[in-house]
Chains A and B, each alone.
Chain A
């Protein structure tokens, strides 16, 4: 190749990355500048021309310096995007035919792509909105981590107690709440389900979780160790419900068994999701030292 051909090839590669309105003009100017540089450099062959354009930079990088390129995902959002992509992929429904809400393996791979696509669209819209209305995205302080929602902790404690009762006595409780419309005999656990190892694991965790949330509500703060235990028990409870949904029958009545598996799967998935999200937040929480007495603003 002649030096002119090398320069022209480089100029075209740069111009191709530019918006149409700039292309020809920038190409014409850039070629003139490179020719000037080449002549001044005293080179006369292909190698000298190549050295010049390589020193100039990668065509895409050089093109980006000529205008403000459109960014689909703002560099500031890259971390959030990657976390959401990985987190979402990990939490995708499993392709296990034994689970009522299971999806076909072929559909699952499509879901992964759909998730990534949805994230790209979301972050692109977000970047655009931030550029369009920057005043709406100003910083707003979050509630201090030490402040807890006391009513929510009471509600959580009560919910775990109720869940434990429903789990141990599904027949009487459902009959009570449905006004007898559902025959309690349809809500009888199978013998295999009532084996101590299957039935009692979840049942024991419920009062422990209720006690931990009650403790937080009464003391009006989460002790870090208690919080970690609460999260571990929550994830454990979710895992147990997932196992129940996956292995062996729960209720003698086949119709009720299908419903129970779906409920177990949903509630178990919810527990695991909440537990993992909160564990991640606890793990990544920024720890600030206490301010010296009298120096707080």
Chain B
């Protein structure tokens, strides 16, 4: 009886480990997938100026949660790439840097949005074949 119990216990443990590994892998792949569309998601929300925290909340509320450690540096990098403009404002609370798309950001956003739409259509067709 003990042997059977041990066998069942060991099998269940292995199943758990495998499930955990698969779940971790799925999470990692999801992160990679989201990372690829981060720039587009951020650009889409910056037609009007927003500061880091409000942008993060905004994206989160629309189903696109982004870690703070990823989003804030990304805003700076996008500004350095010439896609965003920024300015400091003091309202209620600490001084905050507000970001918004500039003319180049508008152009890139339109291009990326068009590419995304085409890509989404293609993937939809591909996945239909995979079902």
Chain A interface residues (CB < 8 Å from chain B): 26, 28-33, 35-37, 39-40, 55-57, 61-62, 65-67
Residues of A within 8 A of B52 (CB): 29, 32-33, 36
Contact indicator A31/B94 (Cβ below 8 Å): yes
Docked pose: A28 CA to B88 CA in angstroms:
10
Option from A28, A36, A61 in Cβ contact (under 8 Å) with B53:
A36
CB distance from B34 to the nearest CB of A (A): 15
Docked pose: A57 CA to B57 CA in angstroms:
19
Q: A28-B95, A40-B53, A66-B77 are in contact. Are A33 and B72 (CB under 8 A)?
A: yes
CB distance from B46 to the nearest CB of A (A): 16
Contact indicator B69/A26 (Cβ below 8 Å): no
Contact indicator B93/A36 (Cβ below 8 Å): yes
Docked pose: A33 CA to B96 CA in angstroms:
8
Q: Binding site of B, secondary structure by majority: helix, strand, loop or mixed?
A: helix
Counted as pairs of residues, one from A and one from B, with CB atoms less than 8 Å apart, the total is 51
Asked if B123 is an interface residue, CB under 8 A from chain A, the answer is no
Docked pose: A186 CA to B110 CA in angstroms:
88
CB distance from A11 to the nearest CB of B (A): 12
| Total interface residues in chain B, CB < 8 Å | 19
Docked pose: A201 CA to B56 CA in angstroms:
76
Residues of A within 8 A of B22 (CB): none
CB distance from A26 to the nearest CB of B (A): 7
Q: Binding site of A, secondary structure by majority: helix, strand, loop or mixed?
A: helix
Option from A32, A35, A55, A65 in Cβ contact (under 8 Å) with B73:
A65
Q: What residue in chain B is nearest A65 (Cβ atoms)? A: B73
Most chain A beta-carbon neighbours within 10 Å: one of B73, B74, B93: B73
Q: A40-B57, A55-B67, A61-B69 are in contact. List 20 more A-B contacts (CB 8 A).
A: A26-B76, A29-B76, A32-B51, A32-B52, A32-B96, A32-B97, A33-B72, A35-B93, A35-B94, A36-B51, A40-B53, A55-B68, A55-B69, A56-B69, A62-B69, A62-B73, A65-B69, A65-B73, A66-B73, A66-B76
Contact indicator B95/A56 (Cβ below 8 Å): no
Residues of B within 8 A of A39 (CB): 93
Residues of A within 8 A of B77 (CB): 65-67
Contact indicator A36/B72 (Cβ below 8 Å): no
Asked if B117 is an interface residue, CB under 8 A from chain A, the answer is no
Residues of A within 8 A of B57 (CB): 40
Listed by A's residue number, 16 A-B pairs whose Cβ atoms lie within 8 Å are A28-B95, A29-B52, A29-B97, A32-B52, A32-B94, A33-B53, A33-B72, A35-B93, A36-B93, A39-B93, A40-B57, A55-B68, A55-B69, A57-B69, A62-B69, A65-B77
Option from B70, B80, B95 in Cβ contact (under 8 Å) with A65:
B70
